[in-house]
Structure 1
Amino acid sequence: MEIFKTAFLMVTLMLIFIAVGGYIGGEHGMMIAFLMAAGMNLFSYFFSDKLVLKRYNAIPVDESNAHGLYEIVSRLTQKANLPMPKIYIIPEEVPNAFATGRNPSHAAVAVTEGLLKILNENEIEGVLAHELSHVRHYDILTGSIAAILAGAIAMLANFAKVGGIAGQSGGSRRGGGNAIVMLALAILMPIAATIIQMAISREREYKADKGAAYLTGHPEWLASAIRKLESYSNSYIMQNASEQSAHMFIVNPFGSLTNKLGVLFRTHPSTSDRIAELEKLEQEIKRGM
Structure 2
Amino acid sequence: MRFFERQEAARAQTLRLLLLFGLTLLALLLAVNAALALTWRVLTPGFSSYPAYFFSVNTAVTLLFVLGGWWLETSSLHGGGERLARRVGAREAWPASREAEQKLCNIVSELAIAASIKPPLAMVLPREDSINAFATGWDEDDAVVAVTQGALEQLTRDELQGLVAHEFSHLREGDTRLNMRLAGMVFGLEMIFNLGRSMCETDNEGRYSLLALPGFAIMLTGSLGWLAGRVLKAAVSRQREYLADARAVQFTRSKDGLGGVLRKVAGQQAAHQGPSGRLHPAVQHMLLVNTAAKDRWLATHPPLAERIRRIYGRPMTALRRDDHVATRPDALF
TM-score normalised by L of structure 1: 0.72
Q: Please say if residues 13 and 37 of structure 1, whose CA atoms lie closer than 8 Å, have aligned partners that are also in contact.
A: no
Q: Please say if residues 219 and 278 of structure 1, whose CA atoms lie closer than 8 Å, have aligned partners that are also in contact.
A: yes
Matches for 1:1-289 after TM superposition, within 5 Å: 33=65, 36-37=68-69, 39-40=71-72, 43=75, 46-47=78-79, 49=81, 52-61=84-93, 63-64=95-96, 66-90=101-125, 91-150=127-186, 161=197, 164-166=200-202, 169-172=206-209, 174-181=210-217, 183-184=219-220, 187-188=223-224, 190-232=226-268, 235=274, 237-242=276-281, 245-254=283-292, 258-259=293-294, 261-262=295-296, 264-280=297-313, 286=330
How far apart are 1:128 and its partner, in Å? 0.5
Instruction: List gaps (5 residues or longer) in structure 2.
Output: 1-10, 37-56, 315-328
Q: 1 or 2, which has the higher helix percentage?
A: 1
Amino acid across the alignment from 1:85:
P
Amino acid across the alignment from 1:276:
R
Q: 1:159 to 1:60 in 2, by over 3 A?
A: farther
What SS does the corresponding residue of 2:313 show, helix, strand or coil? helix
What SS does the corresponding residue of 2:147 show, helix, strand or coil? strand
Deviates more, 1:138-147 or 1:122-131: 138-147
Residues 114-154 of structure 1, C-alpha deviations (whole Å, 9 max, x = no match): 33233333221110011112222232321343445555656
* Counterpart-to-counterpart distance in 1, 2:19 and 2:91: 32
Q: Please say if residues 139 and 204 of structure 1, whose CA atoms lie closer than 8 Å, have aligned partners that are also in contact.
A: yes
Q: Calculate the aligned-residue CA RMSD, in Å.
A: 4.5
Amino acid across the alignment from 1:269:
P
The structure with the largest alpha-carbon Rg is 2
Q: Please say if residues 100 and 144 of structure 1, whose CA atoms lie closer than 8 Å, have aligned partners that are also in contact.
A: no
Residues 83-132 of structure 1, C-alpha deviations (whole Å, 9 max, x = no match): 21112223433432111223344421111223323333322111001111
Task: Work out the number of aligned pairs and report it.
Answer: 280
- % same residue: 24
* Counterpart-to-counterpart distance in 1, 2:276 and 2:187: 19
Deviates more, 1:55-64 or 1:109-118: 55-64
Q: Please say if residues 17 and 37 of structure 1, whose CA atoms lie closer than 8 Å, have aligned partners that are also in contact.
A: no
* Counterpart-to-counterpart distance in 2, 1:125 and 1:32: 44
TM-score normalised by L of structure 2: 0.64
Q: 1:199 to 1:161 in 2, by over 3 A?
A: same
Instruction: List gaps (5 residues or longer) in structure 1.
Output: none
* Counterpart-to-counterpart distance in 1, 2:312 and 2:61: 54
What SS does the corresponding residue of 2:330 show, helix, strand or coil? helix
